[in-house]
């Protein structure tokens, strides 16, 4: 009614203005102005109709758009789970696909079933039948031709024309063995560098000295096919859980199968319950390794190092943790996290929507001991139970370190052998010197016995001579005294005789 009232008033105003100005404009101007007025109102009616229909369509679009967004959120949640939920329900999406994608990304490219064509001069020639690159099933192939059919997920790979391995590429090689599930990598043969790549054939040689076990495995001919990994496989907690097992309160990574672990690690299952302190060194190490895998995710055994003890906690009240830092840098510029543990690498950040993680009262989650202690001091959580978390292995570093230690041990063994040979040589010389010394000692003993005999004779003769000397000295002394007495007598007689002669001759005595 208001619109029609405005139309009538506008029409009346237009007629009044036309009547007033018709004498000045003329009939032509009045007719043209009337037609223009009618056209404008017709256009307004058409515009109003279009706007009315557009409003209806926009309302329908908004309704459908909300439904599409809701369906998209539901699809994302079914496909990927709730990204903001700290304890996502793994049954709400396809965990096997996501786990497979994660493993594919982490392992890099893998070439399986590489047949050994030849071994010569420390270099191996391999024939690669097909390429097994990492493919994300959710992403289209950028090299696919428009309109080309998408291959089935389980379809066999086409023969490779380009293997994707260039010269000077560092790869990790495993020997494959026949298992019930097919050919599987079972032994690490070492780190190699690609020296030549030509079609489906490549040549590789070790980057360093291989261990005696690796050399023996390669030369035995037992492993006719090899697996080539672009990246060393990563260690994980879930990989060693029994197939089909799910995390629970007693095992956060799933149930561990002792027989499967013993088979994979090549360790006697009886060592799972053995006390390492009562075993030999090698058996004690195997027992500790097997027990660490079996206890992973369960209650920590006595004597567990503090850094391997995590804590299952329950939130006493709602709590929000900021997980993304404001700064952003590459991991090579200072790590993935800042000093407070927030992610600074863009690949780890959750984004604006997930920069903060919220926990509700009653939520349970596993924290490291330090974080649990900090939250416990704030009366945010309560401790439910401790959890043993096995320290993950860096296989690439571990194998290199083992190889380095073995190489160093072999070098030390060579040095020890050389020093032992020198010691044996010195021992031989010492034994010869000892023999000569013993012979010399025997001669000296004989000489000493003869010396004692001669000494006894000499001592006896010396005693006799000394006695004779004493006797002779006594006799000489007595004789000297006699001579002295006779001399005194001769002197006295000579003096008397001289006095007598002087007296007879009248010569005065002197």
Give the domain ranges of the chain.
2-79
Please give the pLDDT value at position 145: 35
Chain segment 67-83, per-residue pLDDT in tens:
999 888 888 777 666 65
Q: Name the token pair of 322.
A: 């900021």
* pLDDT above 90: percentage of residues in the chain: 15
Beta pairing class for 319-322 and 110-120: unpaired
Q: Give the distance from CA 271 to its chain's centroid.
A: 25
Answer yes or no: is pLDDT of 135 > 50. no
Query: Do the Cβ atoms of 395 and 232 come closer than 8 Å?
Result: yes
Q: Half-sphere exposure of 161 toward its Cβ, with a 13 Å CA cutoff?
A: 0
Dump the DSSP string for 21-75: HHHHH-HHHHHHHHHHHHHHHHHHHHHHHHHHHHHHHHHHHHHHHHHHHHHHHHH
Q: Name the token pair of 443.
A: 């001669």
Answer yes or no: is pLDDT of 430 > 60. yes
User: What SS3 class is residue 193?
Assistant: strand
- pLDDT greater at residue 378 or residue 332: 378
Question: What residue has token string 């993304």?
Answer: 324
pTM: 0.57
Please give the pLDDT value at position 206: 92
User: What SS3 class is residue 463?
Assistant: helix
Chain segment 390-402, per-residue pLDDT in tens:
988 888 888 888 8
Chain segment 245-263, per-residue pLDDT in tens:
888 888 888 889 888 888 8
Please give the pLDDT value at position 152: 37
């Amino acid at each position: 009614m208001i619109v029609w009232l405005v139309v009538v008033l506008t029409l009346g105003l237009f007629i009044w203005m036309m009547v007033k100005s018709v004498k000045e404009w003329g009939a032509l101007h009045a007719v043209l102005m009337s037609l223009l007025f009618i056209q404008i109102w017709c256009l307004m009616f058409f515009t109003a109709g279009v706007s009315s229909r557009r409003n209806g369509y926009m309302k329908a679009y908004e309704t459908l758009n909300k439904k599409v967004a809701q369906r998209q959120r539901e699809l994302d949640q079914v496909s990927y789970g709730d990204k903001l939920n700290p304890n996502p329900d793994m049954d709400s999406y396809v965990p096997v696909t996501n786990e497979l994608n994660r493993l594919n990304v982490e392992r890099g490219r893998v070439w399986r079933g590489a047949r050994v064509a030849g071994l010569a001069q420390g270099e191996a020639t391999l024939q690669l039948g097909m390429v097994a690159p990492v493919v994300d099933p959710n992403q289209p192939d950028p090299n696919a031709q428009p309109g080309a059919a998408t291959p089935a997920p389980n379809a066999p790979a086409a023969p490779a024309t380009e293997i994707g391995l260039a010269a000077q590429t560092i790869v990790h090689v495993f020997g494959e063995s026949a298992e019930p599930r097919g050919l599987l990598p079972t032994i690490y043969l070492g780190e190699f560098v690609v020296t030549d790549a030509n079609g489906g054939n490549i040549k590789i040689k070790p980057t360093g000295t291989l261990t005696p076990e690796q050399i023996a495995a390669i030369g035995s001919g037992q492993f006719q096919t090899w697996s080539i990994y672009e990246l060393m496989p990563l260690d994980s907690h879930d990989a060693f859980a029994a197939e089909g097992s799910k995390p629970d309160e007693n095992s956060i990574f799933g149930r561990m199968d002792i027989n499967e672990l013993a088979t994979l690690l090549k360790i006697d299952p009886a060592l799972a319950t053995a006390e390492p302190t009562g075993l030999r060194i090698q058996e004690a190490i195997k027992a500790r390794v097997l027990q660490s895998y079996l206890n992973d995710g369960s209650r920590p055994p006595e004597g567990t190092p503090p850094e391997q003890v995590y804590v299952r906690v329950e939130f006493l009240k709602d709590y929000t943790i900021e997980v993304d830092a404001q700064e952003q840098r590459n991991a090579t510029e200072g790590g993935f996290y800042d000093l407070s543990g927030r992610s600074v690498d863009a690949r780890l950040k959750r984004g604006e929507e997930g920069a903060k993680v919220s926990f509700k009262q009653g939520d349970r989650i596993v924290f490291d001991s330090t974080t649990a202690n900090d939250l416990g001091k704030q009366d945010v959580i309560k401790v439910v139970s401790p959890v043993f978390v096995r320290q993950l292995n860096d296989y690439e570093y571990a194998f290199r370190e083992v190889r380095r230690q073995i190489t160093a041990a072999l070098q030390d063994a060579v040095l020890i052998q050389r020093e032992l040979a020198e010691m044996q040589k010195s021992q031989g010389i010492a034994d010869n010197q000892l023999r000569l010394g013993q012979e010399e000692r025997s001669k000296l003993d004989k000489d000493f016995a003869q010396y004692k005999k001669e000494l006894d004779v000499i001592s006896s003769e010396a005693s006799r001579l000394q006695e004779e000397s004493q006797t002779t000295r006594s006799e000489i002394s007595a004789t000297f005294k006699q001579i002295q007495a006779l001399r005194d007598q001769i002197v006295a007689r000579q003096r008397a005789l001289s006095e007598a002669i002087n007296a007879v001759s009248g010569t005065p005595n002197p």
